Amino acid sequence: MRKGDTLCFAKPPVIGAFAAVGGKKEGEGPLKDGFDQLYEDNYLAQDNWEKAERALQSACAGHLLRKGQVTRAQIDLAFAGDLQAQCTASGYAMRDLNVPFAGLYGACSTMAEALGLAACLASAGLGGNILAMTSSHFCAAERQFRTPLDYGGKRTPTAQWTATAAGGCLVRPVGEGVKIKAVTFGRVRDYEVSDINNMGAAMAPAAAHTLLQYFRDTGTGPEDFDAVYTGDLGQVGSALLARLLAAEGLELARHRDCGLLLYDQADQQVQAGGSGAGCSASVLAAHILPQLLSGRETRVLFMATGALMSQTTFLEKETIPGIAHLVELESPAVRG
Amino acid sequence: MRKGDTLCFAKPPVIGAFAAVGGKKEGEGPLKDGFDQLYEDNYLAQDNWEKAERALQSACAGHLLRKGQVTRAQIDLAFAGDLQAQCTASGYAMRDLNVPFAGLYGACSTMAEALGLAACLASAGLGGNILAMTSSHFCAAERQFRTPLDYGGKRTPTAQWTATAAGGCLVRPVGEGVKIKAVTFGRVRDYEVSDINNMGAAMAPAAAHTLLQYFRDTGTGPEDFDAVYTGDLGQVGSALLARLLAAEGLELARHRDCGLLLYDQADQQVQAGGSGAGCSASVLAAHILPQLLSGRETRVLFMATGALMSQTTFLEKETIPGIAHLVELESPAVRG
């Protein structure tokens, strides 16, 4: 049922399985125990970083099939996307997986977009096992969006660290698992930030918009949730989100940002925090869903944020539009 | 209802409105009368080609709203994507349109992917007016995938001409219009073609796979349709598709390729035919849907094909994976 921009599922589909894989730095961070697999070598034994990212997705899909106890033949559809130009990490990973595939591009908002669309199709009875997955790779992203690492460019304090990680979920119409109660697909917002080393600021307005829209659509507020998880606003974007919400009279007490959860801010030198499509996806699978599954949290919002620019639009001096998609998640401990 | 990889809609959603806009060359082709707007200047009064492509989408969306007699506020969700890295034509067009937006990447298969997903959500009652749109721009695509036009590179006979065009549909759960009866989301197929000037050959195996899958899933054959329209296989890919199907004992008598319909093959110097996400999208809106609406054709398959490589994977000597998504369309003249 639609309420404003929010789709509420009368019979909420469930996340039957979830998985996260990551690289070296992710394996040194506070969430390392939540990952299904961690790689010491960020090349993943491939001959370039783009292939390494593809291998992250393939590994993540493998864990999803194993944990969900399904074969490839039982996957009805996969939603996947990534940050590489023309989403090639997903395209090539899906070549190997050989399942029906609908490619997405939502930049770092992709995990929430994929999860939301998977929930829509599952709730409509259009699939029994729908995969939602995304990834990012620090080295592949840096040379694409900023400068190749070999240049040794200095990182600014507002810069965020693109996660080398993939995360995914297996969505089912019914069964055991965390429930997907609702989804809000976001609208593009642009506050005319043009600094590609300050993505958090570019994405915060979209996050504020989608969150306020969801609260308005559903008649809820921050107090109704154990936590509101944003995708990867980092320190700068999180502070800006708080300011934007305060201007609307809203205080977000239990706000957590995936970009600030994945790494140790004091020790891991990630500047303003983590980012990348794989950041929120892996934090979802390595931290948020386990919290809900155990009942330590019962009701949360997961809102991944994306910056919709490219190297070309940056060179053409365009500002950076942001988008945020939101998914409402409920613990299976909540009966009813 | 799912049959194999095919989703069949018990209550088929409809295409309430459709629109196509194009550039100079498209305005000189055989389908020119089917376009809603044609531009003499391929810059569309913008200062670069990327912005020009965005303007194509904005214009197309404007025509969709007008023809569908809806306001922006009545659009529940837009599915859009394009060929630019990070799908920026769509991202920026959606910034202006200001509607909930789910970004897609399916390369030249995007129109069928968008239409299929819009149909899924509409049929599930998750939206009353869902926009599905895509675009491409010859100049933006050439410099991204091959070489900038300024280099004056020679075009090979197998090369295809990226359309400067956008096409879109407004999908509704019920009402007047062409019915969307079923959708088959394709699987990635790779026959190890690595020539970026021969996309047709790279995409034909995916087209063959999806078409055979649909026929098998639904118990139908080519004789059940007035036409099978493929996205943009062009001459080379169409011939290869015929060979691949013949090997499976299938003759596709009423096959039409959007890449061979958009331009005059004898006069317009487009080598093996048209291509680009905007090619199949604009042919859908300028030719196929009018055929169905008038009852000249009653039941057709629209299958857009995409090549999922990037400039980076090409330089890394990867082969080109293809994908094809299929949508079954029925004339409103068919009652029952």
Mark yes or no for CB contact B323/A92 under 8 Å: no
Q: Do B310 and A85 touch (CB under 8 A)?
A: yes
Tokens, residue B221: 């054959």
A182 in Cβ contact with A9 (< 8 Å): yes
Tell me the three state secondary structure of residue B162: strand
What is the number of helices (H) and of strands (E) in chain B?
10, 15
Helix ranges, A262-327 (H) = 277-283, 289-294, 311-315
Put simply, whether B7 touches A (Cβ < 8 Å) is: yes
Give the pLDDT score at A336. 60
pLDDT in tens, chain B (336 residues): 899 999 999 999 999 999 999 999 999 999 999 999 999 999 999 999 999 999 999 999 999 999 999 999 999 999 999 999 999 999 999 999 999 999 999 999 999 999 999 999 999 999 999 999 999 999 999 888 877 777 777 888 888 899 999 999 999 999 999 999 999 999 999 999 998 888 899 999 999 999 999 999 999 999 999 999 999 999 999 999 999 999 999 999 899 999 999 999 989 998 999 999 999 999 999 999 999 999 999 999 999 999 999 999 999 999 999 999 999 999 999 976
| Whether B270 contacts B161, CB under 8 Å | yes
Q: How far is CA A50 from the centre of its chain?
A: 19
Q: What is the DSSP letter of B292?
A: H
Contact A183, A282 (CB under 8 A): no
- Please tell me the predicted confidence (pLDDT) of residue B218: 98
Interface of B with A in 135-154 (CB under 8 A): 144
pLDDT, tens digit, 9 for 90 and up, residues A11-57? 999 999 999 999 999 999 999 999 999 999 999 999 999 999 999 99
The verdict on B322 touching A (C-beta cutoff 8 Å) is no
Q: Which residue of A has its CA nearest to B182?
A: A126
The answer to whether the Cβ–Cβ distance between A126 and B102 falls below 8 Å is no
**How many other C-beta atoms lie within 10 A of the C-beta of residue A60?**
31
Q: Check A321 against B91: CB less than 8 A apart.
A: yes
Contact B321, B207 (CB under 8 A): no
List B residues 297-316 in contact with A (Cβ-Cβ < 8 A). Answer: 308-313, 316
Q: How many CB atoms lie within 10 A of CB A330?
A: 20
Q: Are B88 and A313 a contacting pair at CB < 8 A? A: yes
Do the chains contact at B100 and A5, CB–CB below 8 Å? yes
Residue range A294-314, pLDDT digits in tens: 999 999 999 999 999 999 999
Between CA B141 and CA B24 the distance in angstroms is: 16
Q: What is the pTM of this model?
A: 0.98
The pLDDT of residue A142: 87
**Segment 25-54 of chain B within 8 Å of chain A by CB:** 48, 50-51
Residues 6 or more apart whose CB falls under 8 angstroms from that of B9 comprise: B1, B119, B123, B180, B181, B182
| pLDDT value of residue B336 | 60
For tokens 């929010």, the residue is A6
